């Protein structure tokens, strides 16, 4: 028995499923999750002492690589002054100013402690602001686990086959309308059907919780138009894409201005941080200036702010995101060429620092339906073959992969060579 196997057995006695977030349990791929003891740069190390090239990056935050020395230093310096005050600090202002500078659609921003809190609060705000109850989301998009949003969701909910979790009253779920990602006709039809009732549309502008599916041309532009025409709030959930697809997020990459934006992952530099922000007029609708309640004991925590602010400063380097996208492109093209050579049907997608690959005959995957029709058995085998090769990919066919600034050309080439050997064994 490996040490990870032993730890997993022990964990299951006191933690449901042995994990504190479902996708970590490897249910999507089978086998035993690796227990991680440390991470440095591009690598994670498991309890058995094996080293992996990591493409999970703590599910997105570690865009600058693990344990970045300057972020670590910022945290250590902040710790000297105490861990939490529950009172305002100047670092929060610096953070808000930085976010506003990087994401111009954000005029005011509120910090929270997770992506779920960000989307949940943005939805409440949109409902309060418009006085409407219904919200529109897209099948396969995951926005955290708040009740209204765990309807036809992606990510772990997709892998586990519980798109509608028990525990969510039908009376809540009935206000969540769902249509197909990348299908503007369905959006227009549902707005016809529920005229003047839809408070907001929430979308992952690049879907990253049903593998990686970028928007088709004109889709986000169309959404913007429909929302404006219907006085619905357009919410971009950039918890995954923010500061990753481009410095200004997917909204900058695709040049669309949402009304509200949700952030998470990268914004905390590895600490628990989320945020939501947008138009001043809407943001001033939350307490204490407005009537919509929203709060948090640890919101804007000084240690988390220090880490996040340093991460955003480091990410602001000219050309960094172009380099990141070049890495995603090289990886995808390398996988494609290796698959073609070995006769494996594969297609890939990428946007900025996120990527996905699909075992399918389809030339391009642009829909949730196509993503779910891919060869999941083949993915599972491939995942474990890559793990044997020392490459740690997301343990689910429905999660995007992430590159960091630390992934060198050599590591990407090694990953492609490992994939070629793995494809040959499928
Ligand atoms: N929104 C998106 C797009 C996400 O990918 C996630 C998490 O993966 C969330 C929201 C929820 O964030 P958190 O897990 O920090 O609550």
Residue ranges of domains in the chain: 3-67+318-425, 71-315
- The per-residue pLDDT for 130 is 98
Same fold for the domain at 3-67+318-425 and the one at 71-315?
no
- Would you say residue 235 has pLDDT above 50? yes
* Closest residue to atom 13 of ligand 1, CA basis: 115
User: pLDDT tier at 155 (50, 70, 90 boundaries)?
Assistant: low
Q: Given this model, what pLDDT does residue 160 score?
A: 47
> pTM of this prediction?
0.97
CATH class of 71-315: alpha beta
For residues 365, 186, 143 and 53, what is the CA-based torsion angle, rounded to 10 degrees? 10
Give the residue-averaged pLDDT of 360-384.
Answer: 97
Query: Which is more confident, 217 or 164?
Result: 217
pLDDT score at 163? 47
The reply to whether ligand 1 has any atom less than 6 angstroms from the CB of 115 is: yes
Mean pLDDT of 135-160: 80
| pLDDT reported for residue 157 | 56
Residue nearest to atom 5 of ligand 1 (CA): 240
What pLDDT, on the 0 to 100 scale, is given for residue 329?
98
Give the pLDDT band of residue 105 (cuts 50, 70, 90): very high
Q: From the candidates 142, 253, 285, 368, which is the catalytic residue?
A: 142
Protein residue with its CA nearest to atom 8 in ligand 1: 144
Pocket test for ligand 1, best of 265, 272, 273, 351 (most atoms within 8 A of CB): 265
43-52: list long-range contacts, CB under 8 Å, 24+ apart. Answer: 44/392, 46/3, 46/4, 47/2, 47/3, 47/4, 47/7, 48/2, 48/3, 48/4, 50/390, 51/390, 52/387, 52/390, 52/391, 52/392
For position 168, what pLDDT does the model report? 86
Architecture of the domain whose range is 3-67+318-425: Alpha-Beta Complex (3.90)
For residue 120, pLDDT over 60 is answered with yes
Look at residue 153 and tell me whether its pLDDT is greater than 80: no
Mark whether 284 is an active-site residue: no
Instruction: Examine the residue annotation and report whether 142 is marked as an active-site residue of this protein.
Output: yes
Does 50 participate in catalysis according to the annotation? no
Helix (H) or strand (E) holding 348: strand 347-351
The per-residue pLDDT for 158 is 52
Q: Cα of 276 to ligand 1 centre, how many Å?
A: 13
Number of the ligand 1 atom closest to the C-alpha atom of 115: 12
| Ligand 1 neighbourhood includes 261 CB (under 6 angstroms) | no
Look at residue 340 and tell me whether its pLDDT is greater than 50.
yes
Three-state secondary-structure class, residue 39: strand
Among protein residues, the one with the nearest Cα to ligand 1's atom 12 is 115
Average pLDDT taken over every residue of the chain: 96
């Amino acid at each position: 028995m490996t040490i990870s196997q032993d730890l997993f057995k022990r964990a299951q006695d006191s933690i449901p499923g042995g994990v504190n977030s479902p996708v970590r349990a490897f249910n999507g791929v089978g086998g035993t999750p690796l227990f991680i003891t440390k991470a440095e740069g591009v690598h994670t190390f498991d309890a058995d002492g094996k080293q992996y090239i990591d493409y999970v990056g703590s599910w997105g935050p570690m865009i600058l690589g693990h344990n970045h020395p300057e972020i670590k230093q910022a945290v250590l310096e902040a710790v000297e002054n105490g861990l939490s005050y529950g009172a305002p600090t100047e670092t929060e202002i610096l953070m808000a100013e930085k976010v506003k500078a990087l994401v111009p659609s954000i005029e005011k921003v509120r910090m929270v402690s997770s992506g779920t809190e960000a989307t949940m609060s943005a939805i409440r705000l949109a409902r309060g602001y418009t006085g409407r109850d219904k919200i529109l989301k897209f099948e396969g998009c995951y926005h955290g686990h708040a009740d209204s949003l765990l309807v036809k969701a992606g990510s772990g909910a997709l892998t586990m086959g519980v798109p509608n979790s028990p525990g969510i009253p039908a009376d809540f779920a009935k206000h969540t309308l769902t249509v197909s990602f990348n299908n503007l006709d369905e959006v227009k039809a549902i707005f016809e059907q529920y005229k003047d009732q839809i408070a907001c549309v929430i979308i992952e502008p690049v879907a990253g919780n049903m593998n990686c599916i970028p928007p088709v041309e004109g889709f986000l532009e169309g959404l913007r138009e429909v929302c404006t025409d219907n006085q619905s709030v357009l919410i971009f959930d950039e918890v995954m894409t923010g500061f990753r697809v481009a410095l200004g997020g997917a909204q900058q990459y695709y040049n669309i201005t949402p009304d509200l934006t949700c952030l998470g992952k990268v914004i905390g530099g590895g600490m628990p941080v989320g945020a939501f922000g947008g138009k001043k007029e809407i943001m001033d609708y939350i307490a204490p200036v407005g009537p919509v309640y929203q709060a948090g004991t640890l919101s804007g925590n000084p240690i988390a702010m220090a880490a996040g602010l340093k991460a955003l400063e480091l990410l602001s380097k000219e050309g960094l995101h172009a380099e990141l996208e070049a890495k995603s492109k090289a990886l995808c093209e390398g996988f494609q060429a290796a698959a073609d050579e070995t006769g494996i049907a594969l297609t890939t997608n990428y946007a900025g620092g996120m990527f996905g690959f699909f075992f399918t005959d389809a030339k391009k995957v642009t829909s949730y339906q196509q993503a779910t029709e891919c060869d999941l058995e083949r993915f599972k085998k491939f995942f474990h073959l890559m793990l044997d090769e020392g490459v740690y990919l997301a343990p689910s066919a429905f999660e995007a992969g992430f590159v960091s600034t630390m992934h060198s050309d050599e590591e990407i080439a090694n990953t492609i060579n490992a994939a070629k050997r793995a494809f040959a064994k499928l």
